[in-house]
Every structure is written in structure tokens, then in C-alpha cells.
Structure 1
Amino acid sequence: MKFAYYPGCTIGTTAVEFGLSTDAVCEALGVELVELEDWNCCGASSAHSLDHELSLRLPARNVALAQGTGLDIVAPCPACYQHVLAADIKLREDETWRREMEEMLGFTYDGQERTRHLLEVLSTSEMIERVRQRTTHPLKGLRVVSYYGCVLVRPPEITGWDDPEHPVRMDLLMEAVGAEPVDWSYKVDCCGASLALSRSDVVVTLSTRLAEAAREAGADVIACACGMCQINLDTRQALEEKVPVLYFTELMGIAFGLPGVEKWLKKHTVDPRPVLRERGILP
């Protein structure tokens, strides 16, 4: 199984542990990630907010790069995934814009490749079975709430996820690695996203509400699939007893017994190691 890998900007900066655990888990599962050569930023919140055309042209260039590989694109960042997906749809449906971009980028769009999020790739029925087989250190006794955030699964007419209000793909993965998925009603609520800089008070309120809800549900940790969500919840929750927030790939890596886990976990503001030791998952 081979994909054109679009890591996005946060993987090498604020979400290093997401990148490291993604590389390790994919290698363990036999998923080959071929990083796009000379990829560029998708435009993130800035282009999306200020220049609609730029927010499509930037990710369209990455679509062109991926087409040269003949591989489907996989992205770990929900924003990158959404922006590349939107550009690909624009290329498919808007003939005038497609011709303009083809001339600008020097390629001919063929529409053969798909854009997929990492969680989507790792949670197919085939991969779930492979995850079960690869698990050597089950996360027995660890109660996990899955947090998808507000971007990953919406809008459903574009993303095509299982359920935009109550997705279960991450829950199935957590079950496959031996954890106890805990149901809750905050799976797709917003954490405040990029308001962390301009309205940190809003992010503190929203992130604290999510952490409180996780505690009330009886969760030990929150599993997430977004760099922005992770850093907001990890650094902005205003609770006395804080809830650790891990990437789903980190929990998979722990369950696989992969080396380097300690390097990932020590990067968290809310240290997840005490609860993992308490549950007998870490020595």
C-alpha cells in the first residue's frame, strides 16, 4: 500500500509527535508514504480567510505534484486534507478554472488520484484487522474518547465520512488496539482552532469544556487526529486535573510496542505517562 504523502506545515513544527508516530505506525503496518517533493503550504487559515482564490491555487499545486506520482494523496492534517480536497473538486468540476491551473502549473489534470486523510486510510476494515494482528501491547483498561474536531468530517457532501455528527472510525481503531472507547457527544465540537492567537479566551473556554466533558464521560485520555486540536486542548484546558491529549497514532504506536514512544510522549504539555503507567501500559 503506497501513498503520496503530504505532511503539511505543522508536522515539522507544533505537531512533531504526530509526524514521528505517523511514520512509525505506517511503517509497522506496511503503508509506504512517499513524501511529495517540493510540496507547499495549503494556505491554512490565512489564505482561507483572506483570499479564496489563493486558498485553492496553493493546494492545487500539490494536486499537480501528486498526479506526477500516480498515487493517492494522504494527509495527516485535517485542514490540509480539506484544502487539497476542495482544490481537487474544483479541478474536476470547473473546466475554466482547470484550464487556467493547467496552464499555470504546466500539467494536464487527469482526476485519477484521490485525496484521503490518514485516519481514513488506517481505519478501513482491512487495516483494522492488520492493526489487531500488529498489536503486541494492548491498551487494556485505558478509557479513550475519540475527538475528531470540527474540520475533519465536514462538510459531508465533500468528505464522505461515515457520519459527520457521530463518526466512529477512530473509535474502531482504539478498540482494535485494546483500549476501551468511551462514547461522548463532543466528538466534532470545535476547540477554537486558529483563534488561539487572536481570541485565546474563546479557545480556553471551548478547550476546557471539551476536557471537562471527557472527564465526565470517565475517559483517561483524549485521542485526536488534528495538530491544531491537540495543541489547543493540550495547552489551553483550564482544569485542576488535566486530561492528557494524544494523537491516535501515538496510541497505536504504544500498542505496537514501537521504539521512540518516549520521545513522542515527553513533548506533551499534559504528561500522559502517569496515567499510562497507572493502567499498566507503560513500565
Structure 2
Amino acid sequence: MRYAYYPGCSLQASAKEYDLSLKAVCNRLDIELVELKDWNCCGATPAYTVDPLLAMGLSARNLALAEAEDLSVIVAPCPACYKNLRKAGKALEEDPELREKVNDMLTEHKLDSIPKVKLPLEVIASDFDWDALEVERPLAGLNVACYYGCPVARPKGGFDNREAPQAMHLLVEKLGGQPVPFAYDTKCCGGGIVFTRDEISLDLTAKLLTKAKAAGADCLSVMCPLCHLMLDAYQSQAVRRLDTRFDLPALYFTQLMGLALGLGREELGLERNMVAPFSLLERMGLKV
């Protein structure tokens, strides 16, 4: 399987461990990720606020780069990038006049056919044969709170059930772990407003962490760089508001996959996690 890979800005900086673990897992599964050459920022939310047409052009350029490489599917790990690429692709596919305007903005490659855009979990859940998974280090006894956040619950036309997603749950079970009942699996973490309304954002994060802990989770499994930032880097600030403290590792689902597949700590970027998972992993017999 061969896919265009659009890492986006987060995976080059604050979410480097997601980039490392995703590449390592895909390499083990013989999934080829071809990083787009000279990709650009998707514009996130600010670009659409300032200039919608320019924002459309930013995503269109990335779509055109994939098309130029004859790659029909783009893997976008960041939900903001995923949303913008999908939004642009749908609009350009349905509106020939808009596509003509946007193509006039593109200098290197014009956009003809629109590549599909998928999240990494979608690729692994929908395109990969799980019978081919070779689990070397089962996650036996590990209680996992599967947290999807907004990526699965919000955009229409996604790959999973918006109200009750199951892909990550099923994957954790396949890896030998135990998903815990966690009713907050699609609730917002508040990451989008952490710099403007931090008190609201931290309250939302604290609630998620508290509910996961109450459900008996040993760790959280996440799929979004911003969610991970809140649940990992901001964890101590969030729970401090409750006059309590606990260490609940938040791992990217690709890090959990990598552990089960026998990959090492450096390959998975585990040392980059702010809430260190190593004592938990050693206790569970998953020492790396």
C-alpha cells in the first residue's frame, strides 16, 4: 500500500512522536508513506478567517502535489489538516468554477482529479488486513481509555460511527489490551481555545482525565496532536485545579501499536512524552 503523506506543521514540532511512531508502525506493516515534497501549511483556522480563497488555495496546492506524484490518497495525521484538505477537496470537486479560480493561483501543478484524504487510524482500520498483524509484545492487562476527540465525531462522512466510534477500541483489543468504558471518548478537550480561554480549556481537560482515571484506565490512547498536547503537556496544570495529582500517560495509538509490534522507545518517540510511560510499561511487562 502506497500513500501520500502530509505531516503538517504539528508533526514536525510539538507532535514529533506521532510522526516517528506513525512512520515506524507503517514501515513494520509495509505501508509506504511518501512525504509530499515542499508541502505547505494548511492554514488551520486563521487562514479561512482572513481569506477563504487563499486558504482553499493552500490546501489545493497540497492536493495537487499528491496528484503530481500519482498518489490517490493522502494520509493526514493532524485533524485540522485533515479537515481542511477534505473540505477543500469536496468544494473543488463540486464547484468547477471555484476549481478554475484556485487552479489559476497554482503555479507548479494544476489540480485535476481530487485525491482522497484519510486519517492514519482510518488507513489501519479500513485498508489494512488485521490478520497480518504480528503482535510480539501483547498489551495484556493494560487498561486503555480510547479517546477519539473531535476528528471522528465532528466531520460528516467519516469512516467510523460518529456517536460511538469503535476503530481504536477494536485495535486495542487486537493488540491484547483492554478498552475501558469511557463515555467521554468524543468530548472536546478544549485544545482549540487553550491560548484564549485557558480556564475553560483546562477544565475540559481535567474532566477528561478524571473520567478516564475513574474508569480504571492505565493510560489514554489518542489520535490528535492538539488533544495529546492537552492531555500530556497540560496534564499537571489541568488536574492541579482539582487539588489532586496523578500521572496518566497519554500515548498516540501508533505508540501503543508500536509497543505491541515490538518496536523500541526511540523509534516510537516515547521519551518525548511529558508524562513518562516507562514505569507503567515496566509494571505491565512491556519494558522497552
- When the two structures are superposed, what TM-score results if normalisation uses the length of structure 2? 0.91
Aligned to 1:278: 283
**Counterpart residue identity of residue 128, structure 1:** W
Aligned to 1:127: 129
1:266 aligns with 2:264: no
Which region of structure 1 is more displaced relative to structure 2, 11-20 or 119-128? 119-128
Query: 1:1-283 alignment to 2 at 5 Å?
Result: 1-71=1-71, 72-106=73-107, 107-111=109-113, 113-124=115-126, 126-131=128-133, 134-156=134-156, 159-237=157-235, 238-239=238-239, 240-261=245-266, 264-282=269-287
What SS does structure 2 have at the residue aligned with 1:33? strand
Structure 2, unaligned runs of 5 or more: 240-244
What SS does structure 2 have at the residue aligned with 1:144? strand
RMSD: 1.7
What SS does structure 2 have at the residue aligned with 1:138? coil
* CA deviation vs aligned residue, 1:43-74 (integer Å, no higher than 9, x gap): 11322444333332211110111111121111
Taking the aligned partners of 2:164 and 2:233, their CA distance within structure 1 comes to: 26
* CA deviation vs aligned residue, 1:113-169 (integer Å, no higher than 9, x gap): 2111111001127432223xx21000100011111111344222xx33221121111
Query: Contact (CA 8 Å) 2:93, 2:114: kept in 1 or not?
Result: no
Q: State percent identity of aligned pairs.
A: 41
- How far 1:281 sits from its partner (Å)? 1.4
Which region of structure 1 is more displaced relative to structure 2, 83-92 or 42-51? 42-51
Query: Contact (CA 8 Å) 1:234, 1:244: kept in 2 or not?
Result: yes
Taking the aligned partners of 2:11 and 2:233, their CA distance within structure 1 comes to: 17
Query: Contact (CA 8 Å) 1:254, 1:261: kept in 2 or not?
Result: no
Taking the aligned partners of 1:27 and 1:146, their CA distance within structure 2 comes to: 24
Query: Contact (CA 8 Å) 1:7, 1:35: kept in 2 or not?
Result: yes
- How far 1:252 sits from its partner (Å)? 0.6
What SS does structure 2 have at the residue aligned with 1:73? strand
Taking the aligned partners of 1:253 and 1:268, their CA distance within structure 2 comes to: 15
**How many residues are treated as equivalent by the alignment?**
279
Taking the aligned partners of 2:2 and 2:214, their CA distance within structure 1 comes to: 40
Which region of structure 1 is more displaced relative to structure 2, 94-103 or 21-30? 94-103
Which region of structure 1 is more displaced relative to structure 2, 235-244 or 161-170? 235-244
- How far 1:263 sits from its partner (Å)? 6.4
Query: Contact (CA 8 Å) 1:242, 1:270: kept in 2 or not?
Result: yes
**Counterpart residue identity of residue 6, structure 1:** Y
Query: Contact (CA 8 Å) 2:205, 2:231: kept in 1 or not?
Result: yes
Mark the CA change 1:262 to 1:38 in structure 2 (over 3 Å): closer, same or farther: closer
Mark the CA change 1:44 to 1:203 in structure 2 (over 3 Å): closer, same or farther: same
* CA deviation vs aligned residue, 1:24-54 (integer Å, no higher than 9, x gap): 0000000000000010000113224443333
**Counterpart residue identity of residue 66, structure 1:** A
Mark the CA change 1:79 to 1:28 in structure 2 (over 3 Å): closer, same or farther: same
What SS does structure 1 have at the residue aligned with 2:281? helix
* CA deviation vs aligned residue, 1:183-235 (integer Å, no higher than 9, x gap): 31111111112312122212210111000010111111000001000011112
Taking the aligned partners of 1:170 and 1:20, their CA distance within structure 2 comes to: 19
Taking the aligned partners of 1:49 and 1:219, their CA distance within structure 2 comes to: 39
Taking the aligned partners of 2:126 and 2:195, their CA distance within structure 1 comes to: 36
- When the two structures are superposed, what TM-score results if normalisation uses the length of structure 1? 0.93
